[in-house]
Amino acid sequence: MSESAVPVVRVERLRKIYTMGEDRVIALGGVDLTIEPGEFLSVMGPSGSGKSTFMQIIGLLDQPTDGTYYFEGKDASNLTPDERADIRSRRLGFVFQSYNLLSRTSAVENVELPMLYAGIPEEERRRIALEKMEIVGIAQLAKHAPNQMSGGQQQRVAIARSLVNNPGLILADEPTGALDTKTSNDVMRLFKQLNNDLGMTIMVVTHELDVAKNARRIVSFRDGLIVSDKPNEQLVGVA
């Protein structure tokens, strides 16, 4: 990575406070974090630690109460809803625990969805979708419906969908939460492959240490603050 490369994510003193009647819940209490291009990091912590709120803000699904958030060098702290939606569709890829696939739509059509919303012509959509399905190893399932696939295969469809717009950042929220151990390991190996081979910048949010250990950098949250941010010593120097 070039020393002059702009960070994908830079947050400073990021705070999120929810007001419920007279109660104030501090979900994030002042977070500083930078994610450089090509990083693969995990964000972990127990329920209520602030990791999910952090992901929502990084994914432009929510806004901070105060602090600053720069995405690819642009101040994203106070964007309009349309501006946030535009960046989400063009520069962010999402992978969720529940896959979020349309049940009556084929795998390839599910992968095409972000491009459909972006107005990309049908022939080009299909070409790109099949290319991304090939990368994640499920091109042979292009015509299958979600109910004809295993959980691991459905998650690969979701990962292929997250790739179609060549995002600057993939956000994976508990991506193995609905999977057995073997399939979870397969999915995490795929994320490592995307990071190693394609240089994708990936942030995985998880409460499981075994999942977090697949990343090159582990960031731990507790009580709305980062309590640890360090390289994964097991992977230091590993290509």
pLDDT single digits (tens) 28-86:
999 999 999 999 999 999 999 999 999 999 999 999 999 999 999 999 988 899 999 99
Residue 237 has pLDDT above 70, yes or no: no
pLDDT single digits (tens) 114-160:
898 888 899 999 999 999 999 999 999 999 999 999 999 999 999 99
All structural domains of the chain, each given as residue ranges with its CATH number in brackets, are 40-52+80-230 (3.40.50.300)
Distance CA 170, CA 238 (A): 21
Contact 69, 57 (CB under 8 A): yes
pLDDT reported for residue 5? 84
239 three-state secondary structure: coil
Structure tokens at 12: 């400073």
Sorting pLDDT into bands at 50, 70 and 90, what band is 2? very low
Task: Name the burial class of residue 49, with classes exposed (0-12), middle (13-18) and buried (19+) by CB atoms within 10 angstroms of its CB.
Answer: buried
Distance CA 230, CA 220 (A): 9
CA angle 174, 205, 118 (to 5 degrees): 80
Q: What is the pTM of this model?
A: 0.92
C-alpha distances out from residue 70 to 8, 21, 40, 82, 195, Å: 8, 31, 18, 17, 22
